[in-house]
Amino acid sequence: MPRKLPALVKEPTLPAVVQPPVAVVQPPAHPYQNLDRSTRAAVARLTGGVSPHAVGAALGDWALHLARAPGRQLELVERAQTNALKLVAQATPAVTGPDAPPAFKPKDFDHRFVHPDWQKPPFKFWQQGFLAVQDWWDFATENIRGMHPDDADRNRFLVRQMLDTVAPSNFPWLNPEILAETSRTLGHNLTAGAIHFTQDMLQALTQTHKPAPEGYQIGKDLACTPGEVVFRNDICELIQYRPQTETVQAEPVLIVPAWIMKYYILDLSPKNSLINYLVGQGFTVFAISWCNPTADQRDLSLEDYRKRGVMAALDAIGAIVPDQKIHANGYCLGGTMLAIAAATMARDGDDRLASITLMAAQVDFTEAGELLMFLDESQVAFLEDMMWQQGYLDRPQMAGAFAAIRAEDLIYTRAVQRYFLGKEDLPTDIGVWNGDTTRMPARMHSEYLRGLFLENRLSAGRFAVEGKVIALKDIAAPIFVIGTEKDHIAPWKSVYKTRLFTDSDLTFVLTSGGHNGGILSEPGHPGHHFRIGERPGGALYEGPDVWFAETAPQDGSWWPEWIAWLRKNSSGSVPVPPTGAPAKGYAPICAAPGVYVLQD
């Protein structure tokens, strides 16, 4: 349930122009159909929202194609023999030498075997044996001629999930780090771990949020850039941030975050807050903070989020900073929504956008990333039945999907640290944000899964807004696109496709890091680098591999490059505008970060 509004904050009356969403009226279902949906919804809760049919179809596709491929079978036998010989050699120092490198290495993101004792017998043999089996299955689940390519990725993911459950690092008697810590603490680590396990189990059963640790309070330590909420309806709040410079660029900036996350990923600690950095560089900044919907808002649609979210925010900014175009910035699915809004505005002759920035945002979903590898008709119907019963996609279901993508690190490494080593989670700003999950209303989630991910209507020219199709190539405003090298949610080559479907001047940046870490790339952050290149409007298309090979990396943060690009597309400095516009119905309501970000 949402938190109650603070006592000092008066619940606003929604503007008269804001109408509640109209529920879709459907004919009553037959009781048998409702029984089927209820049954599937119950199964969905047990499987974390993953359709058993999608899993079974992927495994069946692989097994049937492998059964009629004797050559491939011989390859697998040969790979097993090779891996076995490598293990034998590894176990024979007289043959390989005591300083020989390991035959098999964990993946870069796999931190289960970092303890130095994993390189000593007998732990080394158990580790190498597991990695050898993992290597064989990675090879075995490669695509076979005639197989659906997506099924190869699905099978590799499924096998990886199963293997991770039996990794030697998960068992106290096989893990040298656990054995050493148990000996050192006389078993106190296991007692502390049992307490942690009980706490986490109770939290999972009661579906409660952990309170933010000391030093990570929202509005005080996180989401703490000063500002005021100047507009609120039932979907979003609009925050206007207080200026930090004597003058500002004439064109204000609107930030559109994804509705599957709290907006303050872009306003974490002051040191890595993109919003705070942008304000400090002399821009008037506005940000949308989405509500955390309940079952009563199950019928909110994708169009509601566009019209009463993005467009309502643009209207408010136009009233507060009149006669100026707006730099619009969208992150993740917020960027997809912004692209839809911008294409609709271009179609309708609305030229209020000075520029468009898309951060880790996709407009084409044929390579949508690991998060949606199981998405098909069966999977969407399965999720729809689950949401039909509860009214939304719940927080644990989304959090579990994100964690499963990197289960080695996000699930098993954390479990070992917390339950067997007895260590508390070290709080971080991004960790606190990551645990502050949200819900998604049933109708909107179904619409974007079908219209964008499953049917890919936006880039295919089949996405309609208000009954008329929109086209990304109609956008004339300059575009700045950021992809991240290790993004498993919005792979950078998929993000890069924005160049394929637009014709305006476009600057593309590829930065180091992942979906969140690459965006939070503040100046001075060690080890970060980026590539940047511009495509003039109307230029010929250049593929991502060619672009990558021809574009040299640069050390540092991409943020200053973006600031320079925004200034190049601005008209100069002007006096600081007022906060809100009370005479036009946009009086300040409360201090940032507002109340929606506090909803549980």
Q: Of 408 and 346, which is predicted with more confidence?
A: 346
* Helices 377-390 and 31-47, packing angle to 10 deg: 100
- Mean pLDDT of the region 50-77: 89
Query: Which of 22-36, 174-188, 421-435 holds the top average pLDDT?
Result: 174-188
Structure tokens at 180: 């050493």
- Mean pLDDT of the region 471-497: 95
Task: Supply the pLDDT for residue 372.
Answer: 66
- Mean pLDDT of the region 453-475: 93
Least confident of 94-103, 505-514, 522-531, 574-583: 94-103
The yes-or-no verdict on residue 98 having pLDDT over 70 is no
The yes-or-no verdict on residue 510 having pLDDT over 70 is yes
Cα 240 from Cα 247, distance rounded (Å): 16
| Res. 538 pLDDT band, cuts 50 70 90 | confident
Least confident of 102-106, 275-279, 300-304, 532-536: 102-106
Count how many residues are written for the chain.
600
- The DSSP secondary-structure symbol of 412 reads I
Task: Supply the pLDDT for residue 526.
Answer: 86
Task: Supply the pLDDT for residue 261.
Answer: 86
Structure tokens at 297: 């808002």
At 311, the amino acid letter reads: M
Q: Of 136 and 204, which is predicted with more confidence?
A: 136
Question: Could you give the percent of the chain with pLDDT greater than 90?
Answer: 59
Task: Supply the pLDDT for residue 401.
Answer: 54
Task: Supply the pLDDT for residue 3.
Answer: 44
The yes-or-no verdict on residue 270 having pLDDT over 80 is yes
| Res. 95 pLDDT band, cuts 50 70 90 | low
At 541, the amino acid letter reads: Y
Q: Which of 50, 26, 32, 46 is nearest to 382 (CA)?
A: 50
Cα 141 from Cα 158, distance rounded (Å): 10
- Mean pLDDT of the region 148-175: 88
Q: Interior CA angle at 91 toward 86 and 96, to 5°?
A: 70
Which tens digits make up the pLDDT trace of 539-576? 999 999 999 999 999 999 999 999 999 999 999 999 99
Question: Could you give the percent of the chain with pLDDT greater than 70?
Answer: 87
Q: Of 300 and 23, which is predicted with more confidence?
A: 300
Task: Supply the pLDDT for residue 384.
Answer: 76
**What residues pair up with 484 in beta bridges, in sequence order?**
511
* Kind plus residue range of the DSSP H or E element containing 407: helix 407-407
- Average pLDDT score over the chain: 87
Name the residue with tokens 């054995």: 179
CATH numeric code, 227-366+464-598: 3.40.50.1820
| Residues identified as active-site | 332
Q: Which of 354, 297, 304, 347 is nearest to 325 (CA)?
A: 354
| Res. 33 pLDDT band, cuts 50 70 90 | confident
* Kind plus residue range of the DSSP H or E element containing 226: none
C-beta separation of 505 from 536 below 8 A = yes
Cα 98 from Cα 119, distance rounded (Å): 11
| Res. 210 pLDDT band, cuts 50 70 90 | confident
- Sequence-ordered alpha helix ranges (H) in 289-332: 302-305, 312-320
| Res. 13 pLDDT band, cuts 50 70 90 | very low
Task: Supply the pLDDT for residue 78.
Answer: 96
| Dihedral (CA of 250, 320, 587, 261) sign | negative
Task: Supply the pLDDT for residue 577.
Answer: 94
